[in-house]
Structure 1
Amino acid sequence: MLLEALNIKKMYGDRVIIDIDKIQIHDNERIGIVGKNGAGKTTLLNILTKNIKPDEGIVRNLGSIAYITQMDEGIENTKSGGEKTILKIREAFSKRAQLLFADEPTSNLDTNKISWVENEFKKYKGAIVLISHDRGLLDNLCTKIWDVEEGKLQEYRGNYSSYIHQKEERLECQKHKYEQYINEKIRLEESIKDRKERASKIKKAPSRMGNSESRLHKYKKSIKQTKLQNASKSIESRLEKLTKVEKPKEYKNVKFDILESNKIHSKIIIDTTVYSETIVRTILARLLFNGHDINKKVEILSGGERVKVAFAKIFLSDINMLVIDEPTNYLDIESIEALEDLLIDYEGTVLFVSHDRNFVKKVADKVIIIENEELKDKDKINKGIVSFAEEKEEILKLEFKISETISRLSMPSPKEDIEKLDREYKYLLNRLNEIRNKIK
């Protein structure tokens, strides 16, 4: 075991950010952390790496640690976002730590660099715990998913796709239990009503009864009423317990604008838009700001939440064209999907730069690729960027296999089949040339 955390709790003001009983990380695990913006994912990493102290609980690090942070502290501003990310990754890899933490390691990277990061992570000799909105990376790399929600951590075995399937099953099970609770609640309420009606109908003793008969009648009546009252209390007690059952939650499968930190974010938008408060709240709701989230001050918003507020301001501006640079950076997966739907419904023109393959596939109807200082126009998304990105990824894999095969041919072991290796080398080389010619 490389790390253990017990009974960790972290609060900001009166809001509980993290409240987790137990975490363990073992050798060579590949763990992806998912959750809504503001759920506490980065806070959790900072606690586990001891960059911040929990209000309660202990963290035991039993192995060496490296941490690829989300922000760019200490890196010169002349470098691009992608160059800064690569520098941080190379520096972390050079430490050869037993446990590597990474917060959005593919942010600002192009498709080729994302593939490079994915391959390097796969080869890493140690455990990895990462936060990422890249669904492809979580699918191809992770063997376990941590879902952070309302301060709690739910663990799922398998990759991201497996997590989605398991979570849907768990939520369906919760829904079924909730429906059972509703049916039981209705049955008990009707039962209480029926028993009270029966109790009220118990007749008084007839006037011509003797004293002994009257006492007997009252005694029997008392027994009946006591039984009915006890039964009603029992049912009401069960009903009270049932009412405490929570309804299961539904699961939904830029340059930063200047935001004054001491103001409520929805008020900032209302003060700067020509649209009504109702429309402002509707846009914020579509970006997953609901309930008390609407009245949060900017200073307590997470990085992803600030991005969404900036988007809301842009959507509600008096413009008909959006130009966005890497819109999915710092957003959780659910927020990315909400942004996808919002951009698809947007009536104006959208020009965006993104290396999120799933996002591009869903939102764009025309794709321009820049390569070797030239523009390549791909009119149809499914035959354009997706196939192009997949082919570029395959080129990287083929080049790696060719290099490995050449190494084996130059220094063959006694057990190596040289002819087979030679045939494999020629096949890989031909395949590589085919793909390169195809995307020219």
Structure 2
Amino acid sequence: MLAGFTNMTFEFGARAIVEEATWHIQPNERIGLIGYNGTGKSTLLKLLVGEYLPSAGTVERSRGTSIGYLHQDLLSFDTNDSILEVALGAFERVRQLEVELEAVGKELEKTGDEDLLIKYTDMLHEMDTLDGYNIHHKTEEILQGLGFANADLGRPYKEFSGGWRMRVLLAKMILQAPDLLLLDEPTNHLDLPSIEWLEKYLTHYQGSVVIISHDKYFLNRMVTKIIELYQRRLHIYNGNYAFYETEKELRLDLAQRAYENQQDYIRQQERFIERFKAKASKAAAAQSAMKRLDKLDRLEDIGIERPSLRINFQVDKVPGKVLCELKHLSKSFGNNKIIENTSAEINRGDKIALIGANGKGKSTVLRIIAGVESFTGERRWGHNVDESFYAQHQLEALNINDTILDEMKNAGSQKTELELRTILGCFLFSGDDADKKIKVLSGGEKARVALAKTIISKANFLMLDEPTNHLDMHTVDLLIEALNKYEGSLILVSHDRYFISKVANKIWEIDDHQIKDFNGGYEEWVEWKERMKKKADEEKRIQNTEDRIQKGGGKSQASDTKGQKTEEKPKSQPAPVAQPQPVLAKQEPVNKEAKKELQKKQRLFKELEEKITTLTTQKNQLEASLASPDVFSDKNKFLAAEQSYKSTVENLKQASEEYEKVFESIIDLESQ
């Protein structure tokens, strides 16, 4: 066991966060820690690292176990050092050795002292044991995986925003490779490519990992155990998030049935007691029934505790077919080019997800559409479009000096105060909560206010920038349900792949400064991207093979002349005696068996060349047919053509591999 709790209870004042919790973290476990907002998930991590002490029970940590803890409070750290230097801080002993080795090396040059030489050798051995010569390469590789460009590595840490700083600290923690890694919402500041990189890295991580996350995709791919903090208890599920969802529903159903069965039994006993307690002949039986009820270990009603947020988007009027046209858009920040001469169109019914790595300009494009960002080009609204913009950074959209109710009044919905208070009640702001100032709200509360403002606008076109930030999984599910029922159109930016997959019917990818439109959902887009990547890799492989064929053609032709005793020379050549013997003359001593094998390989080589040429032509023809509207629009034709294409590509791959083997064997035989 690395760390854990035994019968641990923790209280904030009179409020119990967790009661009698027992949880032991074993080596090489990947655990997802989940629960509704405010239940105390982050508190559990702070208990594990010793920041808080339990009210009762014990918190255990194995001697020698190293723990890394990534959390939002780390952002208070600041320095003028470069981000590379900050991340290299993970290798304290190696950096110390580098300094010591340099000092001892200079001293050795002066004195040549034997004891100093032994010390120097020992330090070199320790450096080698710690793999100290590769720390710069490792650090650069991890920072690049988390989205940093090479040019950024030398920039001061203090120049970066909070999200990018968190990535640097995550890189440092990964490089420290602790036995137990505790990650509190690690994907909040990562774009999709960085999340995918982190998934791959943590999958092969040698230590144990505990992750607090609201990203269902991330948890499904990453964890093998779920710990849920629910009703002040820890509930353990041995599977990923999908397993947890199924298993929890089953457990709740069984518990509810047990509760209902017990209630039926209690009612039957109480009726028996009430009926017969006054009768002498049945008094003893009634007394026994009363004792049984007194001793009964009563089950609690396990009714699900969760926020009762009610989201219901409304649309006031129907827009025209085209909501927004973007023509020849360009936008740069200094030398940083975001988009260049790109065009796109948003139609009625579109629910678009903007995809792209951080820095590619997703939020910038959204702000351009919303009209709050300058640009060159043309943005034209369609007929009857009522738009509403949900901003990623809530302070951009909310006046911090307003009350929640004032903010709702200023949204221009023309609703009465009573109606607005009713709506705020749906968003968990009941009674006097509506009179709180915006500046005292938490991130999640501000997100709910902005969401409420978006809903009362009755807009038929929504622009949503990271709408799931600060929302727990249940609230995200409610938002998904509301957006699927929403009769208007929308465009959104989000790093939550589950959310995107459930809402979007079209993908806009910002790549190479262009908006690339994909008419399909997120999972279809991912499948298409993987198919295109495989196709590109296969084409590259085939091209390399064809290049080798062309280079090998001369050799095969030369080898066809083997065994000939004379070679016709052009008249312009000097006399043979003046020249060294050609290579072919050196091959005369080849024995008959070797010559026969060589000729056999040459014939096979020629057949494979012809086969590869035929298959390549066939592959190109099938690619053209797959792109044909006649084939593409007919499902059966398309499936047949796709199957033929896959078969041809596989045959081509096998022929290319065989060709390479035969080519190498010919070279070996020629060199004998």
Fold similarity call, TM over 0.5 = yes
TM-fit CA distance, 1:262: 12
Identity of aligned residues (%): 31
Q: Tell me what 2:653 maps to.
A: none
Taking a change above 3 Å as real, the CA distance of residues 384 and 284 of structure 1, as seen in their structure-2 partners, is farther
2:301 corresponding residue in structure 1: 246
Deviation sequence 1:259-305 (CA, Å, 0-9, x none): 87998x7x6777666366566556654x6x49999799789976445
The corresponding residue for 1:324 is 464
Quickly say closer, same or farther: Cα 1:295–1:366, change in 2 above 3 A: same
* 5+ residue gaps, structure 1: 203-222, 403-429
Structure 1 residues 170 and 260, CA gap change in structure 2 (3 angstroms): farther
CA contact (8 A) 1:37 1:302 kept: no
Q: 1:182 to 1:229 in 2, by over 3 A?
A: closer
Give 1:399-410 correspondences, 5 Å limit. none
Q: Report the equivalent of 2:559.
A: none
Relative distance call for 1:123 and 1:61 in structure 2 (3 A) is same
- Residues 4 and 61 in structure 1, CA contact (< 8 A), matched pair in contact too: yes
Q: Check whether the contact 1:33–1:41 (CA below 8 A) recurs between aligned residues.
A: yes
Find the aligned partners of 2:204 and 2:435 in 1 and give their Cα distance.
42
1:100 aligned to 181, 184, 187, which one? 181
Paired amino acid for 1:170: R
Query: 1:108·1:326 contact (CA, 8 Å) conserved in 2?
Result: no
Cα drift, residue 119 of structure 1: 0.8
Task: Determine if the alignment matches structure 1 residue 149 to structure 2 residue 287.
Answer: no
Match for 2:476: what amino acid?
Answer: I
In the alignment, what sits opposite 2:271?
A: 190
For 1:364 and 1:25, locate their aligned partners in 2 and report how far apart those are by CA, in whole Å: 38
TM alignment of 1:240-389, pairs within 5 A: 242=298, 245-249=300-304, 254-257=392-395, 258=398, 274=415, 277=418, 281=422, 285=426, 289=428, 303-317=443-457, 321-381=461-521, 384-388=524-528
For residues 35-71 of structure 1, the C-alpha deviation after alignment (integer angstroms, 9 at most, x for no partner) is 1111111121122123344445543333111122245
Q: Given the two structures, how large is their TM-score scaled by the length of structure 1?
A: 0.70
Aligned to 2:38: 38
The 5 Å alignment of 1:6-21 reads: 6-21=6-21
Whole-angstrom CA distance in 1 between matches of 2:163 and 2:255 = 42
Matched letter for residue 287 of structure 2: N
Amino acid at match of 2:43: T
Residues 98-152 of structure 1: CA deviation (Å, up to 9, x unaligned): 1111111122322211110001111212111111122222122212110011332
In the TM superposition, what is the alpha-carbon distance from 1:232 to its structure 2 partner? 6.5
Q: So what's the TM-score if we normalise by structure 2? A: 0.48
- Report the CA distance shift for 1:117/1:275 in structure 2 as closer, same or farther (over 3 A): farther
What is the RMSD computed on CA atoms of the aligned residues? 4.1
- Partner residue in 2 for 1:73: 76
Structure 1 pair 232/118, CA: closer, same or farther in 2 (3 Å)? Answer: closer
Whether the aligned pair in 2 keeps the contact of 1:38 and 1:304 (CA below 8 Å) is: no
| Secondary structure, aligned partner of 2:236 | strand
1:305-354 CA distances to partner (integer Å, 9 max, x unpaired)?
55334423443357554433222233322221112123333455433101
The 3 A distance-change label for structure 1 pair 155 and 385 is same
CA-to-aligned-CA distance 1:150-169 (integer Å, 9 cap, x gap): 33211111221222222121
Q: In 2, distance between residues paired with 1:133 and 1:294?
A: 26
Q: Does 1:163 align with 2:281?
A: no
Secondary structure of 2:471's aligned partner: coil
SS at match of 2:76: coil
Q: Does 1:110 align with 2:112?
A: no
For 1:88 and 1:343, locate their aligned partners in 2 and report how far apart those are by CA, in whole Å: 35
How far does the alpha carbon of each residue in 1:171-211 deviate from its partner, in whole angstroms, 9 at most, with x for none?
A: 11112112212322442343244336xx4xx7xxxxxxxxx
Q: 1:301 to 1:29 in 2, by over 3 A?
A: farther
The change in CA–CA distance for 1:98 and 1:229 in structure 2 (over 3 A counts) is closer
Larger RCO (CA under 8 A, 6+ residues apart): 1
Residues in 2 aligned to 1:166 and 1:84: alpha-carbon distance in whole angstroms? 38
Aligned to 2:217: 136
Q: What is the count of residue pairs matched by the alignment?
A: 369
Cα distance in structure 2, aligned partners of 1:8 and 1:262: 42
Out of 346-355 and 85-94, give the one that drifted further: 346-355
Q: Is the 8 A contact 2:276 2:282 kept in 1?
A: no
Give me the whole-angstrom Cα distance separating, in 1, the residues matched to 2:401 and 2:33. 28
| Rounded Cα–Cα distance in structure 1 between residues aligned with 2:487 and 2:522 | 22
Question: What is the identity, as a one-letter code, of the residue corresponding to 1:64?
Answer: S
Give how far 1:372 is off: 1.8
Alignment partner, residue 287 of structure 2 = 230
Tell me how far apart the structure 2 counterparts of residues 321 and 77 of structure 1 sit (CA, whole Å).
Answer: 38
Are residues 172 and 377 of structure 1, via their aligned partners in 2, closer, same or farther at CA, if it must alter by over 3 Å? Answer: same
Distance 1:65 1:321, change over 3 A: same
Picking from 257, 262, 273, the partner of 1:181 is 262
Cα offset for 1:5? 2.8
Structure 2 residues without counterparts, runs of 5 or longer: 79-156, 308-391, 542-615, 621-625, 627-672
Contact 2:509 2:517 in 1 (8 A): yes
2:520 aligned partner, one-letter code: K
What amino acid is the match of 2:467?
P
Asked whether the 8 Å contact 2:408–2:420 carries over to 1, the reply is: no
Shift of residue 30, structure 1, vs aligned partner: 0.7
Letter aligned with residue 249 of structure 1: I
Instruction: Indicate conservation of the 8 Å contact 1:269/1:280, yes or no.
Output: no
Max Rg structure: 2
Between 125-134 and 17-26, the greater mean CA deviation after superposition: 17-26
Alignment partner of 2:281: what SS?
helix
Q: Is the 8 A contact 1:192 1:235 kept in 2?
A: no
Conservation of the 8 A alpha-carbon contact between 1:171 and 1:251: no
Deviation of 1:90 (Å): 0.8
- Once residues 425 and 11 of structure 2 are traced to their aligned partners in structure 1, the CA distance between those partners, rounded to angstroms, is 25
SS at match of 1:331: coil
Alpha-carbon spacing, 1:140–1:339, altered in 2? closer, same or farther (3 Å): same
Q: Tell me which of 166, 172, 179 is aligned to 2:253.
A: 172
